């Protein structure tokens, strides 16, 4: 069984044969049909997001359940599923308060033990998923059955990028009909946030990026205005488009200190700043102290788009089947598993939205 394994931070990944652990009573085995390549995989490769190594990458997949553990009643063999890295426990402090996306045991990066054996020894499962592989073994709570009409290559995107971006717009920011929105950063998650703002009925959706091709993609995903931030000051441009007021909502989908501050400055007084981009654990952002009080902006962190995966992923699948969510508009290209290092290099350069690895025989 081939998987994409990272052996050391900063090195290219290796597509190699590993042997998965045996199925536990609460687990399912999934044959992957497709897996999106997400920026968090790149963050694990470059060390921005800690992980136990060597680990298999990928956490945005869809496929077919091929085997279920003896305790599993929620899903059957043959089910078409999306994987989620947020297999919330449903009993902890956060789960009981409607915050499954903060569940400590559902965060995907809690490692109890390796999940596979490679030629060089044990292999760990990044984000509890390991979807850039032909097969994976996960708890049954980490798979969500979806409308069988949705093709699995498009469905894979629901597991991380689309849930994170659409959720940020409709669940974390709670954009209302008629509000103005600026989205800073137009990769796969940013474009999903733009589609989320469109679904929510935003009157003006301003997309900002430094890469011209991303701004074209933003228009295809529902942006009403685009700003090339390699040439133009973002807060000034947003004020010009909003009668000098600033945007009701600023969604930051990059994770750099300077783009977080640009998003903060682009929101109107009393507006909402939603932080979606995963910053590095070793970087800090400095806000003007008086403005934090006097401008009364709300700064909200958004983890997994504040979604509840078993509730929201089927909703998003239906929105895709009925054409209200355009998953194809997020796809830059479909690739083979052995092209995954090239995909990471393109992503590091800031090009494209989602690349999807499509497997041979599903």
Residues that bind Zn ion (CB under 5 A): 38, 40, 88-89, 92, 95, 103, 160
Smallest distance, Zn ion to C-beta of residue 196, A: 16
Q: What is the dihedral of CA 111, 113, 116, 122, to 10 degrees?
A: 100
Decide whether 95 or 142 has the Cβ nearer to Zn ion: 95
Decide whether 40 or 332 has the Cβ nearer to Zn ion: 40
Decide whether 88 or 200 has the Cβ nearer to Zn ion: 88
Smallest distance, Zn ion to C-beta of residue 102, A: 8
DSSP letters spanning 199-256: HHT-SEEEEEESSHHHHHHHHHTT-SEEEETTTS-HHHHHHHHTTTS-EEEEEE-S--
What distance in Å separates the CA atoms of residue 283 and residue 59, rounded to the nearest whole number? 24
Decide whether 40 or 265 has the Cβ nearer to Zn ion: 40
Smallest distance, Zn ion to C-beta of residue 14, A: 21
3-state secondary structure (DSSP) of residue 29: strand
Decide whether 227 or 327 has the Cβ nearer to Zn ion: 327
Q: CA torsion sign, 233 to 239 to 241 to 246?
A: positive
Decide whether 161 or 271 has the Cβ nearer to Zn ion: 161
Smallest distance, Zn ion to C-beta of residue 60, A: 5
β strands within the chain, DSSP E: 2-6, 14-20, 27-37, 55-56, 61-68, 80-83, 116-118, 121-125, 135-139, 143-145, 180-184, 204-209, 225-228, 247-252, 267-275, 298-301, 331-335, 354-358
Smallest distance, Zn ion to C-beta of residue 92, A: 3
Decide whether 86 or 180 has the Cβ nearer to Zn ion: 86
Quick one: DSSP state of residue 133?
A: B
Smallest distance, Zn ion to C-beta of residue 166, A: 13
Task: Kindly report the number of other CB atoms within 10 A of residue 165's CB atom.
Answer: 30
């Amino acid at each position: 069984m081939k998987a994409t394994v990272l052996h050391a931070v900063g090195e290219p990944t290796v597509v190699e044969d590993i042997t998965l652990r045996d199925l536990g009573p609460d687990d399912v085995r999934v044959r992957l049909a497709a897996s999106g390549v997400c920026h968090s995989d790149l963050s694990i490769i470059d060390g921005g997001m800690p992980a136990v190594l060597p680990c298999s990458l990928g956490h945005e997949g869809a496929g077919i359940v091929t085997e279920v553990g003896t305790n599993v009643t929620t899903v059957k063999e043959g089910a078409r599923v999306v994987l989620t890295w947020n297999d919330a426990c449903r009993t902890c402090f956060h789960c009981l308060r409607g915050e499954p996306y903060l569940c400590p045991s559902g965060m995907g990066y809690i490692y109890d033990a390796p999940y596979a054996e490679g030629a060089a020894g044990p292999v760990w499962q990044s984000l509890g998923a390991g979807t850039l592989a032909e097969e994976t073994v996960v708890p049954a709570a980490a798979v969500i059955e979806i409308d069988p009409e949705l093709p699995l290559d498009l469905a894979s995107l629901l597991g991380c990028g689309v849930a994170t971006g659409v959720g940020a717009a409709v669940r974390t920011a709670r954009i209302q009909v008629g509000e103005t929105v600026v989205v800073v950063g137009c990769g796969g998650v940013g474009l999903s946030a733009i589609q989320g703002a469109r679904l929510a009925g935003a009157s003006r959706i301003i997309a900002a990026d430094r890469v011209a091709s991303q701004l074209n993609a933003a228009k295809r995903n529902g942006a009403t205005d685009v700003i090339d931030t390699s040439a133009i000051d973002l807060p000034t441009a947003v004020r010009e488009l909003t009668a000098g007021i600033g945007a009701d909502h600023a969604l930051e989908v990059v994770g750099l200190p300077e783009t977080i501050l640009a998003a903060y400055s682009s929101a109107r007084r009393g507006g909402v700043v939603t932080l979606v981009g995963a910053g590095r654990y070793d970087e800090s952002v400095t806000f003007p102290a008086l403005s934090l009080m006097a401008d009364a902006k709300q700064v909200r962190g958004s983890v997994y788009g504040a979604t509840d995966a078993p509730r929201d992923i089927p909703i998003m699948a239906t929105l895709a089947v009925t054409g209200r969510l355009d998953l194809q508009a997020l796809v830059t290209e479909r690739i083979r598993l052995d092209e995954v290092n090239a995909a990471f290099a393109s992503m590091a350069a800031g090009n494209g939205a989602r690349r999807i690895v499509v497997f041979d025989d599903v």
